[in-house]
Chain A
Amino acid sequence: MKTIYLDNNATTQVDPAVFDAIKPYFTELYGNPSSMHRFGGQVGVEIKKARAAVASLLNCLPEEILFTSCGSESDNTAIRSALTAFPEKRHIITTAVEHPAVLSFCKFLEKKDGYEVTYLGTDEHGRLDMEEYKAAIRPDTAIVSIMWANNETGNIYPIKEMAQIAKDHDVLFHTDAVQAVGKVPIDLKDVPVDMLALSGHKLHAPKGVGALYVRKRTPFRPFLIGGHQEGSRRAGTENTTGIIALGTACELAQKNMNEENTRVRALRDKLENGLLSAVPNSILNGDKENRLPNTANISFGYVEGEAILLMIDQVGIAASSGSACTSGSLEPSHVLRAMDVPFTFAHGSIRFSLSRFNTEEEIDFVLETLPPIIKNLRKLSPFSPEKQGLGL
């Protein structure tokens, strides 16, 4: 059975071109870029090219890019660096809908190290309130960390405006752009963030590589201390194949950006509109306007997410559920709860996230198979809109 992979916000297929580009660096060209000899040196040259490719995608300087092991490391490093650089500042601003790489880390800092954290809330569409944000900034705010795009709903936040406000108050601004990089244009000459995190495996590079952008002249304190790699800002022998892969993936992303924003978006819209009209009592979660072109988060009322997920898995469709059952915790997704999605719907939410590898036939197949599955699950359920008297 062929898998129809609609879970690209979780991870992506390594692009075959990326895979080809890195193969020799596992076997013939395995030198250590820090070595003095030519054998290592030639790998060093490739890392330089990769750095330039990442910088080009973000429109920043190559020396502003640090390679890391993943998005989480980039996020943690950025926040920790700001706190270490300004030890007297004890306040952090973030949102209630961040990825755990930021959210759990902030909760940890709050609990274990006594930092004060403001978690900005959202409205029912997952949008942030600018006035609430402005009011939260204090003289002792060390850093603001707000994601560029949300992994569950795809919502894109007004990062340019928010970073500018932080700058006006002399506060460092970090953005977790893991879901945005490669999907929407990012121009760091135009958006005044100080730090930005990205991750390789969300844009068709392998898992285990990420990058952190640190704007020139931003105070920075390394997290990993040891050798002189990455300009002494991140010690540890480079993940050379991962870095070269990330560079190639960034080049391809730049080339394919247009497709992501037109063809992929059109497929997503077809899927979304098709499901919403075929399945009664289904709703779209998130901001209809400002959203990643590849993400649709749909709640099917009166059915539970894991059950849907496993049923569609039977026919080869891979998606993700915001239902708590699949994540080990029992409360529905913190993002949907922050948006006050009614419980009737929150438990039955499914996230579809596409990539440039998805085809129209795949979407047609989902539109054909999924609505009857929901219908069958609803037949099993003691609840229904009619029984609840909602007449939805």
Chain B
Amino acid sequence: MWEYTDKVKDHFLNPRNVGILEDADGVGEVGSLACGDALTLYIKVHDNIITDAKFQTFGCASAIASSSALTELLIGKPVEEAEKLTNKDIAEYLGGLPREKMHCSVMGQEALEQAFKNMRGEAPPQAEHSHEGELICECFGIFDEEILRAIKENNLQTVEDITNFTKAGGGCGKCIEDLEKLLAQAKGESVCETPSSEPAFPAQGMTNIQRMHLIESVIDNDVRPPLQADGGDIKLVDIDGNEVVVQFLGMCSGCPSSQATLHNLVATKLNEKVDPDLIVREV
């Protein structure tokens, strides 16, 4: 069962730089409880050098080790160099990761990108799903751009590779055909488009995990932007059956009209775009 290198084991059992940097210059958050792994990365920059980095990770051994390795790689590096770090560097630093765990290193790379964006004021700590592209894997909320990039940067050859590196295809398997197309596309082969017909309520017939990702993306794309425009925010806390639990943040928390927002915006959007039976509750 320990198919990990000694270095992975070491970084898992004795993770370096765990915790929160209260005065961080950049914070990157990727993943979620529902996905089974998530990482919050904090960086501190002085004179263009990364002087400190800390992390908090929820996930398996390789997710924890990858995060720890990432912070070690970052500390002391000039920003320009750190920006060039990829998931490969993380995996190499650890003496390699099992192929089916490569997505853990990809998570590190993404968190780093988010942290830099956040440092420059381009993005809130939590990754925004403001994708131009097309949602390919509903189970894990993965867009085509991310998949194409993983194929290109890591020279992926099979659909299984894609799953190992991005998680796409690791749930219900419905997106496998699309992954094959993307693979062919990346290799320069032509593929013909098949028109898709959207069901009236997309959530019907979905697996739990797919449904959860749809909820997540509706909150990110339809609910958060207007709230953020008013200096507030909202966070998805849990999904339990038909109940969606959210938490208001910033200006929205304690706002006298938050109940109205809850019903008129959050619930309405979720009912219309996911499932008419969803009930929204605030904590």
Interface residues of A (CB under 8 A from B): 302-307, 309-311, 313-314, 323-326, 328-332, 337, 340, 342-344, 347, 379-383, 388-391
Partner of B33 from the list A323, A379, A383 (CB cut-off 8 Å) is A383
Set of chain B residues within 8 Å of A323, measured between Cβ atoms: 36, 60
Instruction: Give Cα A192–Cα B160 distance, bound, in whole angstroms.
Output: 45
Complex: chain A residue closest to B41, CB-CB = A382
What is the interface residue range for chain B against chain A?
Answer: 35 or more
Q: A380-B15, A382-B40, A388-B247 are in contact. Are A347 and B237 (CB under 8 A)?
A: no
Q: How far is the CB of B239 from chain A (nearest CB, A)?
A: 7
Q: Does A306 lie within 8 Å of B247, measured CB to CB?
A: no
- Name 9 interchain pairs, CB-CB below 8 A, sorted by A: A304-B59, A306-B61, A313-B2, A323-B36, A328-B100, A340-B241, A343-B239, A380-B56, A381-B56
B29 CB-CB contact with A under 8 Å: yes
Q: Is the interface of B mostly helix, strand, loop or mixed?
A: mixed
Contact among B34, B167, B283 for A388, CB-based, below 8 A: B283
User: In this assembly, does B208 line the interface, its C-beta being within 8 Å of a C-beta of chain A?
Assistant: yes
Closest CB-CB distance, B250 to chain A, in whole Å? 14
Among candidates A305, A310, A324, A343, residue contacting B12 with C-beta atoms closer than 8 Å:
A310
Residues of B within 8 A of A326 (CB): 1, 60
Interface residues of B (CB under 8 A from A): 1-2, 12-13, 15, 18, 29, 33-34, 36-40, 56-61, 63-64, 100, 139-140, 163, 167, 170-172, 207-209, 212, 237-241, 245, 247, 283
Q: Check if A380 sits within 8 Å of B64, measured CB to CB.
A: yes
Contact assessment for A388 and B57 in the assembled complex, using a CB-CB cutoff below 8 Å? no
Are B58 and A343 within 8 A (Cβ)? no
Q: What is the CA–CA distance of A313 and B13 in the complex, to the nearest angstrom?
A: 11
Q: Which residues of B contact A305 (CB under 8 A)?
A: 60
Task: List the A residue with the shortest CB-CB distance to B242.
Answer: A340
Taking a contact as CB atoms closer than 8 A, the residue among A310, A342, A379, A383 that contacts B61 in the complex is A310
Question: In the complex, what residues of A have CB within 8 A of residue B59's CB?
Answer: 304, 307, 325
* Closest A-B pairs by Cβ, 3 of them: A330-B170, A306-B60, A382-B56
With contacts A307-B59, A382-B58, A389-B237 known, is A324 near B15, CB below 8 A?
A: no
User: Smallest CB–CB gap between A88 and chain B, Å?
Assistant: 30
Contact B239 A330 (CB under 8 A): no
Give the residue of A306, A314, A343 whose beta carbon is less than 8 angstroms from that of B13: A314
Contact across chains for A325 and B60 when beta carbons are under 8 A apart: yes
Q: Which of A303, A328, A382 has the most CB of B within 10 A?
A: A382
**Chain B residues in 8 Å Cβ range of A342:** 238-240
Nearest CB on B from A1, distance (A): 14
Query: Are the CB atoms of B33 and A302 closer together than 8 Å?
Result: yes
Taking a contact as CB atoms under 8 Å apart, the answer to whether B61 and A343 are in contact is no
| Complex contact B58–A390 (CB within 8 A) | no
Q: Which residues of A contact B56 (CB under 8 A)?
A: 380-382
A331 near B171 (CB under 8 angstroms)? Answer: yes
- How far in angstroms is the closest Cβ of chain A from B70? 14
Q: Nearest CB to that of B36 among chain A residues?
A: A347
Provide the residues of chain A in CB contact with B207, threshold 8 Å: 331, 337
The answer to whether residues A304 and B60 also contact, given A330-B171, A342-B239 and a CB cut-off of 8 A, is yes
Contacts of A314 in B (CB 8 A): 13
CA distance A390 to B236 in the complex (A): 12
Q: Are A344 and B33 in contact (CB under 8 A)?
A: yes
Q: A347-B33, A380-B57 are in contact. Are A340 and B208 (CB under 8 A)?
A: yes
A222 to B14, CA, bound (A): 55
Task: Enumerate chain A residues within 8 angstroms of B12, measured Cβ to Cβ.
Answer: 307, 310
Residue of A nearest to B56 (CB): A382
A383 to B15: give the CA distance in the assembly, Å.
Answer: 17
Of all chain A residues, the one with the shortest Cβ separation from B58 is A381
Q: Contact check, B38 vs A331: say whether CB atoms are below 8 A apart.
A: no
Docked-complex contact B212 and A343, CB < 8 angstroms:
yes
B239→A304 contact, CB < 8 A: no
**Distance in Å: Cβ of A118 to nearest Cβ of chain B:** 16
Q: In the complex, A302 Cα to B58 Cα: how many Å?
A: 7
The complex places the Cα of A344 from the Cα of B167 at a distance, in Å, of 19
What chain B residues lie within 8 Å of A390 (beta carbons)? 237-238, 245, 283
Q: How far is the CA of A302 from the CA of B1 in the complex (A)?
A: 23
A390-B172 Cα distance, complex, nearest whole Å: 30
What is the CA–CA distance of A306 and B63 in the complex, to the nearest angstrom? Answer: 10
